[in-house]
Amino acid sequence: MSIDPVTLEILRNKFDMVCQEMQTVLVRSAQSTIIKEALDALNALFDTQGQVISQSISIPCHLGMVIPAVQRILAEFPPDQMHDGDIYTMNDPHDGGTHIPDVFVVIPVIYGGRAIGVAVCIAHQVDMGGKTYGSKAMDATEIFQEGLIIPPIKLYDQGKRNDTLFKILERNSRIPQMVLNDIQAQIAGCTIGKRRLVDLCERYGVETVLQAKDDLMAHSELMTRQVIEKMPGGTYSAVGYVDSDGVELDKPVKIQLAVTIRGSEMIVDFAGTSPQTKGPINSTYGSTVSAVYYTLRSVTDPTIPNNAGCFRPIAIRTSKGTVVDPVPPSPVNARMPTVCMVGDVMLEAMAQAIPHKVAAVSSSTCGPGFGGVDPLTGKRFMFMDFVAGGVGARPMKDGIDSRDSGAGNCHTLSAEVIEMNYPIRVNQFGLWEDSCGAGRYQGGLGTIKAYEVTRGELTLIHQTERQFQGPPGLLDGEPGSKQETIITRRSGQIEAVPSVAVRSLREGDRLVVKAPGGGGAGNPRDRDRQAVLEDIADGRVSAAFARDKYGTASG
Amino acid sequence: MEIAVDVGGTFTDLICVHDGQLAVTKVPSTPRDQSVGVMTGVERLLRSVSRGPRDITRFVHGTTVAINTILERNGASVGVLMTKGFEDTLTIGRQTRSDLYDLFLDAETPEFLAPRRQRTGIDERIDFQGKVLVSLDEEGVAQAARRLKETYHVESIAVCYLFSFLNPSHELRTREIINRQFPDLRVVLSCEVDPIFREYERLLLTLFEAYIGPRVDRYLSRLEQQMAAAGIEADLQIIQSRGGITSAALARERPVNIIMSGPAAGVVAAISVGQSLGDSGRLGASTRNLISLDIGGTSTDVGLVYEGRPLVTNEAKLDQYPVRRTMIDVSSIGAGGGSIAWISAAGGLRVGPQSAGSDPGPACYGLGGQRPALTDASVVLGFLDPDYFAGGLVKLDGDAAHRAVEKIASPLGMDILNAALGIHRVVNANIADQIRVATIKRGYDTRDFCLVAGGGAGPVHGGVLAGELSIPWCVVPAMPGAFSAAGLLVAPVEHENSRTFVCRLQDGDAVASQIASVFEGLTKQGDLQMERDRISRSRVKVTRSCDMRYAGQSYELEVPLGGEISLQSLTKAVDDFHARHDLVYGHRKTGVDVEFVNFRTVHSCYFPPLASSNPHRGRSLGEARKGTRRVYFGEFVDVPVYERSWLPSSEETITGPAIIEQADSTTVLYPGQRCIVHPSGNLLVGGLCQKE
């Protein structure tokens, strides 16, 4: 059966639109700022073989994370045993999940009496219990300290609510109402996805719809293979170090990988990578895969339709018990520094193969979170903010100031939204002058966000990276600045905060978070003089920086 | 007599209704000062209908001054004052990117509105409850204003302080201080432009207003002066982005409301074309689902009408930047009759976005243009008759068109004819992509729509585009050349006013009366605006709505509010909200309070549809046939040429290939297409797709 190109094109766009609509429904029905303002969530459609058909545009690193979870659900509840009205859920990081707060909701799409696909939503729930607010114990040494673990299980069985599970969820969260609401929001999003997929089957015929997704996957696979084939064959290795695991602060954690390009295939091998850590920066296999996948998408052709076909040409090799493939009961909640480092190291490996088709490294993850009881309302709260630094320079143009890149793509929170909802005031949110990596093309500037506690006492969850080495440059470009976080207590006492840490803050304490600038590209000597002068006039770099890096006299 | 003037990139189109009769004319636009072209056109139109300036009772105008200022990046030099510590809000935005995997993307925040050196932080702070934490540094404001004025010669200053929507005192005081030193400097306050939380989005709208304001103001003042000097007594009215009309005076006060002024008219026009078709079930597509296509000299605008209503958005992107304003959703690309064909470094044929405009215009205008434009290609192919372009108003030079197209033909290794055909193919592919983005990529199936082809060049391309996109029918309206101008005459006068007042019915008995008084204020505001627009109270229809949400949500749904404001009608609104939430988001919540957030009134005054505008006045097809022409469709074909106004008013079918000419446009029927001469006065072109 072949599908006419117009219908195929329409269905391709319809699949994307359905996922966007699911995302909209989720975001607009949710209550926690992490979903509704920061957009830390993803919706997708999968077929019954566990292959992704399409996903919403949200966070790149969620892409790969959904795949093992859906496959795990399909193994537990095979398609021939799925029923209309079933809703499945899970969050177990060591059994297909990512970290405790990421809760998956999966709804089967039944048409003509059989399951033809599933609608999936992953969303970061505000608090799933554990020893620290947000289930983000930056000093955890076992998964059991991190929060409530949910194995693959039914939330609804043919329309009947699993009250037992809901009761357990309610008792295990600091902010249960919000969690229950946001799970409903996830269900609402998936339900829309289910309805729309059924609509498509009604309109175009179920066989056409299923054929279209197969054709689209084959198409994406072919296009990806064509790009890989054009890359010079060989093996390219790179190494990077995560600052620390949050527990053993003096021990950098090694990420080593080798990318082998052979014909139209790519193999990513993590041999040489550190064993799993005591602290919570371990990246579950699904999280690691997602870092490899988004980097693959970036170095091939980003316009290739995003579906399972893109990933068929790639093989990933990890060893159990390493920081990129940990085993229970290792803690995993602070995995983002590792996920970002995997992406950065793979980008550096690819830079050896195709230096003019990659960018210098961008700022890593930088997300302070805050939890506590607001004395004004007497209510508990928890939210994560995201402070992106600069984008790495490209071989033909500067990086971008203050923008999320790589694995992340969360909205930073509006200062007004923070102050209207939480006992925190933002006093500054601006560019970090001189933080860029110098180069013929300069990295984007990093960012400074300054917070002040206005009432009561709260817990700071600090998850950042690159305090020891700024984002590396490309083609003789220099690295960007290193990440810094400083607390100034009300008393005037000053303390630096390590990348992965938990701290207590009180009224009047101030916190300044600085996200790094991006790496530069090309030799700084070759930078256009006029560009340097413009940057000085705009106060983006100081005269001293210009003199030091570019030899430009001031003025 | 009512008159409407729509300014395009190349031509200024005018239409008037007098004693139930329509008349149109077209003059070259004058981009440096659009008012020159407008006034030339008005004089010509008045002469052609033998009327004087005092006969004009209504004067409606669609202008592209605001949008062009943004697209051409030639707005005012703007200074920005923000709360200290937030000077970089413009650069930072929300930090996200629209493409997840592209390593080579560019910044997605509009820094061009005000470079960093022209943004200054001011010591001041208001908190989330509207209380002053740090009082305004008045000396700092004065110094900043001096520096911005003297060093950077700013023409306007945008002021956006945190929480000014709760307490505007610092912004108001800032304007006083600046205007004391510089009385003529335009100071735009965020608390007036967009008094809603989220500082980046509020800043953008404030900045766009500061950026376009001086130019819009100068233009409208100049036009008003010239109208007065010409003896026109009618007030100048402008179409706003949301598709309604307002007075020039109000448009100048709030220029962000007219950013999409020009393009909005085309969508309004498409709706009235759809209405004129009636419920033609046999079209195989709903006449309530329309794609409005307006191909002018410089650009092509595409809008969407779904189930009889224009697609309106309050999350519009203007040139990719978020603009928190209700507007008709129209996209625009640089493709039109004046678009210049060129050869890229890689040896490929490209067309546009650069346009020859109307001066010098395409080579065939004979005004000195040397480079080949789309219109030149149309002449070479035989689509256009050089002696009957714009009704004979502009004599085209066929030889000049050939010479121009030859310039790209030889490097491409093609003959002139195939190069001309190539130009058409490239343009058609570009416009087809644009329509695809507006429809298929948003999940609308083009097979459910009719394409309404407006603009002088619309009917040349409409049929092919419909075929390529599987759109069953392309509708050619009575006067395609004056398509948008006609939309201006049928658009309602409209004023939207809204106010934030967060409350719940559970708050107590006083809520209903508080809400009633909010509406009272809004209604008064709208009444006053209608009064200033000289609309009598009896013609005004007021609709009310409120934005509602479940407590804890940050997104609202708009729910209409009918009848008297009472506990009863508000309770019904809450029920309606639950139902609407279920419809839109697939679920409703029990046990969660429903909040009212914003209250809104829309004052409208609708006008009757245009008088019968059936241009077909002949008796038979044979009578309408005025000759035969050799036209190139890949091979030469002798095709019959018809005169549109001589076509019969009864239903007839013309089989392609054929050419149908009229004063303001030419309809090209490709081989295999057919055209129904519809009793409604429209032409329906179909036949190129699998399904009709």
Each residue's pLDDT tens digit, A298-311: 999 888 888 999 99
From A439, A432, A368, select the one nearest A397 (Cα to Cα).
A439
Give pLDDT, residue B588: 79
- Of B97, B321, B109, B105, nearest to A398 (Cα)? B105
Q: What distance in Å separates the CA atoms of residue B168 and residue B187, rounded to the nearest whole number?
A: 14
Asked if B72 is an interface residue toward chain A (Cβ–Cβ < 8 A), one would say no
* Residue B298 sits in the same domain as residue B398: yes
Count of all residues that appear for chain B in the document:
692
pLDDT band at B689 (very low <50, low <70, confident <90, very high): low
The distance of B586 to chain A (nearest Cα, Å) reads 6
Contacts of B85 in chain A (CB under 8 A): 426-430, 450
Mean pLDDT computed over A453-474: 97
pLDDT at A555: 42
Kindly report the nearest CA distance between residue B338 and chain A, in angstroms. Answer: 30
- The predicted pLDDT at position B691 comes to 38
A to B CB pairs, distance under 8 Å: 161
Tell me the residue ranges of DSSP E strands in B55-147: 58-62, 78-83, 119-122, 125-126, 132-134
| Chain B environment of A359 (Cβ under 8 Å) | 103-104
By Cβ distance, the residue of B91, B163, B589 closest to A401 is B91
- With tokens 């599908």, the residue in question is A3
Question: Does B485 share its domain with B539?
Answer: no
What integer is the mean pLDDT of A330-345?
96
Q: Are residues B513 and B385 in the same domain?
A: no
Instruction: For the beta carbon of residue B540, count every other beta carbon within 10 angstroms.
Output: 20
Residues B293 and B376 both lie in one domain:
yes
pLDDT for the residue B47: 95
Please give the Cα distance from B117 to B577 (Å, whole number).
47
Among A381, A369, A386, A385, smallest CA distance to A173 is for A381
Of A114-128, A347-361, B2-16, the least confident = B2-16
Residue A7's pLDDT band (boundaries 50, 70, 90)? confident
Residue-wise pLDDT for B130-147, tens only, equals 999 999 999 999 999 999
User: Looking at the predicted structure, is the pLDDT value of residue B459 above 70?
Assistant: yes
Same domain, B500 and B390: no
Within the 352-411 window of chain A, which residues sit less than 8 Å (CB to CB) from chain B? 357-359, 386, 388, 394, 396-397, 400-405, 409-411
What predicted TM-score, i.e. pTM, was given to this entire model? 0.87
> Cα–Cα distance between A499 and A243 in angstroms, integer?
7
Using CA atoms, how far apart are residues B269 and B605, in angstroms rounded to an integer?
17
Number of domains observed in the structure of chain B? 3
- What three-state secondary structure class fits A6? helix
The residues, ordered by sequence, that sit 6+ positions from B575 with a Cβ below 8 Å of its Cβ are none
Q: Which residues face A514 on adjacent strands?
A: A448, A484
List pLDDT tens digits, range B73-126: 889 999 999 999 999 999 999 888 888 889 999 999 999 999 999 999 999 999
pLDDT 10s digits, A31-82: 898 888 788 899 999 999 999 999 987 777 787 889 999 999 999 999 999 9
In this complex, do A302 and B102 lie within 8 Å of one another by their Cβ atoms? yes
Are both B488 and B501 inside the same structural domain? no
Tell whether B585 lies on the interface with A, counting CB pairs under 8 A. yes
On whether both B654 and B562 belong to a single domain, the answer is: no
Q: Which amino acid is at B538?
A: S
Interface membership of B47 toward A (CB under 8 Å): no
Q: Domain locations in chain A?
A: 5-222, 359-555
> Within the 145-174 window of chain A, which residues sit less than 8 Å (CB to CB) from chain B?
none
pLDDT at B177 over 70: yes
B108 touches chain A (CB under 8 A): yes
Which chain B positions have a beta carbon within 8 Å of A291's beta carbon?
Answer: none
Q: What is the pLDDT of residue A6?
A: 64
Residues A281, A128: Cα–Cα separation, whole Å: 18
In a domain, B237, yes or no: no
Are B465 and B564 part of one and the same domain?
no
CB-based contact (8 Å) between A351 and chain B? no
Q: pLDDT (tens digit, 9 = 90+) per residue, B260-275?
A: 887 889 999 999 898 8
CA-based nearest residue in chain A for residue B88: A430
Residues of chain A contacting B584 with CB distance shorter than 8 Å: 25
Contact indicator for B28, B10 with CB cutoff of 8 Å: yes
What's the mean pLDDT in A451-466? 97
Q: Which of B397, B417, B418, B419 is nearest to B408 (CA)?
A: B419
Q: Assess whether pLDDT exceeds 80 at residue B285.
A: no
Distance (Å) from the C-alpha of residue B336 to the closest C-alpha of chain A? Answer: 26
Q: Does B555 touch chain A (CB under 8 A)?
A: yes
pLDDT tens sequence across A363-396 = 988 889 999 999 998 999 999 999 999 999 999 9
Query: Considering the domain boundaries, does residue B230 fall inside one?
Result: no
Assess contact for B349 and B408: CB atoms under 8 A.
yes
The top-scoring range by mean pLDDT among A266-275, B184-193, B444-453 is A266-275
pLDDT reading at B476 higher than 70: yes
Which residue of B lies nearest to A431 if distances are taken between CA atoms?
A: B88
Chain B touched by A442 (CB under 8 Å): no
Q: Tell me, yes or no, whether B586 and B657 share the same domain.
A: no
Nearest CA in chain B to A25: B585
Q: How far is A388 from chain B (nearest CA, A)?
A: 7
Look at residue B586 in the predicted model and tell me its pLDDT: 67
B672 is a domain residue: yes
Please write down the HEC assignment for all residues of B512-561. Answer: HHHHHHHHHHHHHHHHHHHHHCCCCHHHCEEEEEEEEEECCCCCCEEEEE
Which chain B residues touch A57 with a CB distance below 8 Å?
98, 100
Over the stretch B44-71, which tens digit does the pLDDT of each residue have? 999 999 999 999 999 999 998 898 888 8
Report which of A214, A211, A253, A228 is spatially closest to residue A499, judged by C-alpha positions. Answer: A253
CA angle, corner B418, sides to B416 and B424, nearest 5? 110
In chain A, the percentage of residues whose pLDDT exceeds 90 is: 86
Six token digits for residue B194: 């967009």
A223 touches chain B (CB under 8 A): no
Please judge whether A188 and B585 are an interchain contact, meaning their C-beta atoms are less than 8 angstroms apart: yes
pLDDT band with cut points at 50, 70 and 90 for residue B690? very low
Q: Do A420 and B128 touch (CB under 8 A)?
A: yes
Query: CA-to-CA distance for B420 and A101, rounded, in angstroms?
Result: 61
Is residue A554 predicted with pLDDT exceeding 50?
Answer: no
Let me know if residue B429 belongs to a domain: yes
Q: B-chain residues within 8 Å CB-CB of A181? A: 552, 589, 592
| A13, A17, A404 ranked by CB distance to B95: nearest | A404
Judge: B95–A13 Cβ closer than 8 Å, yes or no.
Answer: no
Window A:294-313, CB contacts with B under 8 Å? 294, 297-299, 302
Are residues A23 and A59 in contact, defined by beta-carbon separation less than 8 angstroms?
no
**At residue B529, what are phi and psi to the nearest 5 degrees?**
-65, -40
pLDDT on residue B281:
58
B298 and B384 share a domain? Answer: yes
Residue of A nearest to B115 (CA): A538
Contacts with B197 from chain A: Cβ below 8 Å: 414, 416-417, 420
The verdict on a CB contact (< 8 Å) between A540 and B445 is no
Residues A285 and A330: beta-carbon distance below 8 Å: no
Domain that holds residue B514: 495-605
Does residue B304 sit in the same domain as residue B327? yes
A29 and B89 within 8 Å at the Cβ level: the answer is: no
Express each pLDDT in B420-432 by its tens digit. Answer: 999 998 899 889 9
B209 within some domain: yes
Residue B72: CB atoms within 10 Å: 9
Residue B42 in tokens: 């008005």
**What is the structure's pLDDT at A57?**
78
Average pLDDT of B281-306? Answer: 86
Residue A187's Cβ-side half-sphere holds a number of Cα atoms within 13 Å equal to 20
Is pLDDT at B17 greater than 50 in this prediction? yes
Residue A207 structure tokens? 């066989």
Q: Tokens 């459609």 belong to which residue?
A: A45
Nearest to B424 by CA among B460, B385, B470: B460
Q: How far apart are CA B553 and CA A188, in angstroms?
A: 14
From residue A314, alpha-carbon distances to A110, A213, A225, A265, B194 in Å are 31, 20, 9, 6, 49
pLDDT band for B327, please (50, 70, 90 cuts): confident
For A429, the closest of B85, B102, B105 (CB atoms) is: B85
Helix and strand element counts for chain A (H, E): 11, 20
Give the mean pLDDT of B597-617. 82
Identify the closest residue of chain B to A417 by CA–CA distance. Answer: B198
Chosen for mutation from B89, B94, B550 (greatest number of chain A CBs closer than 10 Å) is: B94
Contacts of A538 in chain B (CB under 8 A): 115-117
Residues in contact with A377: Cβ distance below 8 Å, sequence separation at least 6, in sequence order? none
The ipTM assigned to this model is 0.92
B125 part of a folded domain:
yes
In B, which residues are within 8 Å of A537 by CB distance? 117
Contact A410 B96 (CB under 8 A): yes
Count of beta carbons in the 10 Å neighbourhood of residue B519: 21
Q: What is the pLDDT of residue B649?
A: 85
Does B600 share its domain with B625? no
- The residue that leads in pLDDT, A290 or B325, is A290
For residues B189 and B177, give the distance between their C-alpha atoms in angstroms, rounded to a whole number.
Answer: 13
Quick check: is B477 in a domain? yes
Residue B192 belongs to a domain = yes
Query: Which one of A6, A19, A227 would you mutate to disrupt binding with B, by most B Cβ within 10 Å of its Cβ?
Result: A6
Angle subtended at Cα A302 by Cα A298 and Cα A303, rounded to the nearest 5 degrees? 175
Contact with chain B for residue A28, Cβ under 8 A: yes
